[in-house]
Amino acid sequence: MSEASSAAETGRSPAHRNRLALTLAAVSILALGAWLADRLTHIYVTDARISATMVALSARVPGWVREVPVEEGAEVTEGAALLQLDDEMAALIHAGLLQKVEALEAEHESLSRQRTMAERQTASRHAGQAAELRAAEAKAQAYAHDLEQAEAAYHRGEQLLAKGSLSPQAFEQLESRYLQARDQHAAAEAAVGAESSALEEESAGRDRVAILQAELEALEGRLAEARLEAAQAAVRLRDHQLHAPSSGIVDEIFVDPGEYVAPGQRLAMFHDPKKLWISANIKETDVAKLALGKKAEVLVDAFPNAPLEATLSRIGSAATSQFALLPNPNPSGNFTKITQRIEVRFELPETSLALKPGMMVELKIAE
């Protein structure tokens, strides 16, 4: 290279460098301005998390763990068996109560048939006896009418005999007829009395039906109690098996076969992967800028190239500090003001991303 060319190149270099520096400075200023504008018009949250309802499953009865048919991380359907406690004694108790119920049901059936038969027999005999009583009463009434006529004829015959207007032979016939009618009426009245007594005896059969009915009602009470005991035993038997409350994932199992568990002891953790949301703590100074239904851009740390859009569905009713286990009452009078946080919830859209509870996400919310 000639000296002239070197001098020319050297002469252009400072200007070129100045233009490059000015360009870079302008770009930086524009980028800074855009960043500042974005920060001033949006709320950023960098410590939000994917949340889910983590269910701690426990048993309602004590016992030895006999089997754990699932593994941690397994996807299960609603009602799937997660853990089996030894249920031999509970099964025996349940079987015994079922036999008791069956015996009482058989006794109830037998007693019910006896009552039905007694009702039919009593009704039939009562109807027949009542008919015989009505017939006897009708016959006695007819004989009473004959007796009334025969007695009237007899008294007229006495008067005529005394006057000599009636022969002794004719009077004897009237007297014989009267005596016969009186005997027939007396016999008919006796028959009415006998039929009435028989009908009363048939009424005593109704008392037998009432006694059977009372025994049946008492037996029904015992049967209902036995069925209730059997149902309770069935529930206790089912309680020896832990089931999935819904379709989901078994996150962790805390016991192994052979261990003894107590009622209420935590046995497994479970969550439904279809019911996830974003939980974030927003500065109290930004809460006034939020409203239900507001959209937020979501960037999951595990999937940085797959942004999502979430919808604000809940704004907490109290600051997170109110739920601290050890609140600070500040009795000394010294006070340092700290911006409080309000928990909010964003609903996630349907996505094919393998989101898991606890994953970190970043939120960008337009003011």
- Give pLDDT, residue 1: 45
Answer yes or no: do 162 and 292 share one domain.
no
pLDDT of 275 over the 50 cut: yes
pLDDT of 206 over the 60 cut: yes
Answer yes or no: do 47 and 132 share one domain.
no
Residue-range definition of the domain harbouring residue 127: 89-238
Answer yes or no: do 286 and 357 share one domain.
yes
Task: Share the mean pLDDT of the chain.
Answer: 83
pLDDT (tens digit per residue) in 216-239: 889 999 999 999 999 999 999 999
Q: How many domains does the chain have?
A: 3
318 contacts: CB under 8 Å, gap ≥ 6: 342
Q: At what angle do helices 168-238 and 88-163 cross, to 10 degrees?
A: 170
146-150 contact pairs (CB < 8 A, 24+): 146/181, 146/184, 146/185, 147/178, 147/181, 147/182, 147/184, 147/185, 149/181, 150/174, 150/177, 150/178, 150/180, 150/181, 150/182
Phi, psi torsion values for 310, nearest 5 degrees: -110, 160
> 10 Å Cβ neighbour count for 140?
22
Answer yes or no: do 99 and 227 share one domain.
yes
User: What is the C-alpha separation between 57 and 51, in angstroms, rounded?
Assistant: 18
The domain that contains 72 carries what CATH number?
Answer: 2.40.50.100
Answer yes or no: do 185 and 258 share one domain.
no
21 located within any domain: no
Phi, psi torsion values for 60, nearest 5 degrees: -95, -5
- Give pLDDT, residue 204: 58
> 10 Å Cβ neighbour count for 312?
21
Q: How confident is the model at residue 321 (pLDDT cuts 50, 70, 90)?
A: confident
9 located within any domain: no
- Exposure string for 286-299, b = 16+ CB within 10 A, e = fewer: bbeebeeebebebb
The domain that contains 305 carries what CATH number?
Answer: 2.40.30.170
35 located within any domain: no
331 located within any domain: yes
Answer yes or no: do 139 and 227 share one domain.
yes
- Give pLDDT, residue 125: 64
pTM of the model: 0.62
Report which of residues 122 and 2 the model is more confident about.
Answer: 122
Sequence length of the chain is 367
The domain that contains 198 carries what CATH number?
Answer: 1.10.287
Examine the fold and report which residue of 219, 251, 270 is the final residue of a domain before the chain moves on. 270
16 located within any domain: no
Lowest-pLDDT range, 115-124, 173-182, 213-222, 295-304? Answer: 115-124
Q: How confident is the model at residue 168 (pLDDT cuts 50, 70, 90)?
A: confident
Answer yes or no: do 193 and 102 share one domain.
yes
DSSP secondary structure letters along 288-315 = GG--TT-EEEEEETTEEEEEEEEEEEEE
286 located within any domain: yes
Structure tokens at 367: 């003011």
pLDDT average, residue stretch 323-343: 74
pLDDT of 48 over the 70 cut: yes
Answer yes or no: do 64 and 128 share one domain.
no
Examine the fold and report which residue of 221, 238, 255 is the final residue of a domain before the chain moves on. 238
Which ranges of the chain would DSSP assign to H, the alpha helix? Answer: 3-41, 88-163, 168-238
pLDDT (tens digit per residue) in 97-106: 999 999 999 9
- Give pLDDT, residue 40: 72
Examine the fold and report which residue of 218, 238, 258 is the final residue of a domain before the chain moves on. 238
Structure tokens at 149: 């006529």
78 located within any domain: yes
Answer yes or no: do 166 and 229 share one domain.
yes
Q: For residues 199 and 137, is the Cβ–Cβ distance under 8 A?
A: no
150 located within any domain: yes
User: What is the C-alpha separation between 123 and 233, in angstroms, rounded?
Assistant: 44
Answer yes or no: do 336 and 317 share one domain.
yes
Q: For residues 267 and 57, is the Cβ–Cβ distance under 8 A?
A: yes
Identity (one letter) of the amino acid at 220?
A: E
Give the β-pairing of 75-76 and 303-319: unpaired
Answer yes or no: do 340 and 215 share one domain.
no
Lowest-pLDDT range, 58-72, 223-237, 308-322? Answer: 308-322
Q: For residues 136 and 188, is the Cβ–Cβ distance under 8 A?
A: yes
Answer yes or no: do 259 and 310 share one domain.
no
